[in-house]
Amino acid sequence: MARGGRSSGILVFNAGSSSIKFALFDDAFRRGLSGLADAIGGDGRLNVGGNERAARFAHHANALDAILEELDHHGIRLDTLAGVAHRVVHGGRALTKTCRLTAKAIAEIEACVPLAPLHNPHNLALIRAVSDAAPDLPQYASFDTAFHASNPEVALRYAIPEKEDGKGIRRYGFHGISFAGLTRQLPEITGHPLPARLLAFHLGNGVSLCAIRDGCSVATTMGYSPLDGLTMGTRAGSIDGNAVLRLASDYGIEEAARLLNRESGLRGLGGHSDMRALHAAKTPEAAFAIRHFCYWATRHAGSMMAAMGGLDALAFTGGIGENDAAIRAAIMDGMAWTGLVARRAGDTEEGPRLHQPDSSVEAWIVPADEETTIARDAAALIASLPAADPA
């Protein structure tokens, strides 16, 4: 992986609207030093290797400076790395696989800002800050939308005039890096090849399903934006377009957008965006929110199964998917008609397998690990590219 005297380390950045996560990987993809700069723009914190301190970051470049200073204290400098790799939320139609960040690729990410105004600008800010700090350091990007580029055109097009599709108003899907990592990890967990028809549940504050046929996405529940699909922590999920127009008429576009993205979903139904808080609340509203979440996950699962012509296995990932046994059980109960026989309540067996030996459909837990997926994708690209940087 190393070139030109550089080490084999890859530093992965995952920039959010108010945070930067990072993790360092060696050439065996072992995770080294990692951490988080949080609450950018206000009173935040910097956590590096488990050591946390209060910090205030005016913007992403300030947060990066603080991270790089901490890395330097640990003997890690950008100019010794093989590369830096980024999670970028939206790659649009053009960026459908991991790429080296050239001027052209950065321009394409910039062109996608209208499609992801809350995400891509922060990704770009970090990319440019790294470039300022280490101009000769190769940078790479993996895209949350890329895994779903294999969806058939009939799945990607909305039934709107072609000129509107030409503006980029079409389905893209998200959580693609998570789903790509799941397809790599599941055979390692099971010791068997990837099931031909795999239904993946990414359940967290953001929620989506993906129908994976022969390792490729053929359908997913999120669409033009991460708002579409299932009930989420604060997002409404699927809602009739005319209802959106009514909300925009009543409150204005900005307030309607805030309501649908920030005040809906579990929060709107049950008063809490966190599933753990809903379980603890034990109110009728909280119980309804949990039922709503599970109902729509199960209902959308049927659509995903139709897209791939059946079901051989399902896999849960994300914070809720990995840790909430009650939610998994409710969803699997709703899918018993598929031949899925889940492990019984009170079963003392531990581990990632969730199905009984006589089940015709397998069910597994797969830990989410986007950073390792990004590092692996960048390493594969480094190995395949010539040493010279394209213009």
Q: Which residues are catalytic?
A: 144
Q: Which residues contact 369 (CB under 8 A, 6 or more apart)?
A: 181, 185
Phi, psi of 45 (to 5 degrees): -150, 155
User: In angstroms, rounded to a whole number, what is the distance separating the alpha carbons of residues 240 and 260?
Assistant: 12
Give the span between the Cα atoms of 81 and 310, in whole angstroms: 45
Contact (Cβ atoms closer than 8 angstroms) between residue 105 and residue 131: no
CA–CA gap between residue 332 and residue 178 (Å, rounded): 21
Check: CB of residue 177 under 8 Å from CB of residue 204. Answer: no
Q: What is each CA distance from 373 to 30, 180, 293, 336, 370, in whole angstroms?
A: 12, 7, 28, 32, 5
CA–CA gap between residue 322 and residue 316 (Å, rounded): 6
Q: How far is CA 216 from the centre of its chain?
A: 16
d(CA 179, CA 144): 9
